[in-house]
Chain A
Amino acid sequence: NAGVIQTPRHKVTGKGQEATLWCEPISGHSAVFWYRQTIVQGLEFLTYFRNQAPIDDSGMPKERFSAQMPNQSHSTLKIQSTQPQDSAVYLCASSLQGEDEQYFGPGTRLTVL
């Protein structure tokens, strides 16, 4: 079991560019969560899918951020027109059914210059 896979591990973008982050959940897990971690805000929830359907996006910034789960094997988080304040480690987690233990990937460190 490879665990949750996230790519890329590091991404550097210029201000105003687009960034797409990828997450592959553990095989057989039906729930995928996205979080981000910064020094100032700590670990905060962004959005959650179960069986590929969006369940809760209450943590997503209303503008520029979007997430999709086109199939059971991957989810993407897209940030349009990136800003320096978007710099963070973006973490993806999966769980078997959404109401049980979550397992985290290694994260993608996004740096916006």
Chain B
Amino acid sequence: GDKVKQSPSALSLQEGTNSALRCNFSIAATTVQWFLQNPRGSLINLFYLVPGTKENGRLKSAFDSKESYSTLHIRDAQLEDSGTYFCAAEEGQGGRALIFGTGTTVSVSP
């Protein structure tokens, strides 16, 4: 089964609304990264998390390693928030490859 399950797979938002994306892990995730892939395909770093919470502008993310999940909250969605969001987890300690979720495609409309 999928080691990193991301939901929902797609999300349509109106400008100004709030939403949440989630990743559930079936591995012993030690760190989590969230990325936004823009229309050109570039992966933009949003958050790097050890267990805990971080906030950056209208985005907020949390990672709970004991309950094996991470969330990304988008507040007051804007058109430029459109794109595909990926979470990725590192399994274990000492430097490992990232294991990616399947992505959430977010479309923000006026």
Interface string of B87-106 (1 = CB under 8 A from A): 01010011111111011000
The number of A-B residue pairs with CB atoms under 8 Å apart is 50
Which residues on the B side are within 8 Å of A35 (C-beta)?
A: 97-98, 100
Cβ distance A50 to chain B, nearest Cβ, rounded Å: 7
Which residues on the B side are within 8 Å of A45 (C-beta)?
A: 97-99
Q: Name A54-113 residues within 8 Å CB distance of B.
A: 55-56, 59, 89, 91, 93, 97-104, 106-107, 109
The answer to whether B100 and A44 touch across the interface, beta carbons within 8 angstroms, is yes
Question: Which size bracket describes the interface of B in this complex?
Answer: 20 to 34
Known: A43-B86, A102-B33. A48 touches B97 (CB 8 A): yes
**Is B66 part of the binding interface, using a Cβ–Cβ cutoff of 8 Å?**
no
Count contacts on A: residues with CB < 8 A to the other chain.
Answer: 26
**Is B42 part of the binding interface, using a Cβ–Cβ cutoff of 8 Å?**
yes
Known: A98-B95, A99-B93. A107 touches B100 (CB 8 A): no
Q: Which B positions have Cβ atoms within 8 angstroms of A?
A: 33, 35, 40-43, 45, 48, 86, 88, 90, 93-100, 102-103
Q: Which A positions have Cβ atoms within 8 angstroms of B?
A: 31, 33, 35, 42-45, 48, 50, 55-56, 59, 89, 91, 93, 97-104, 106-107, 109
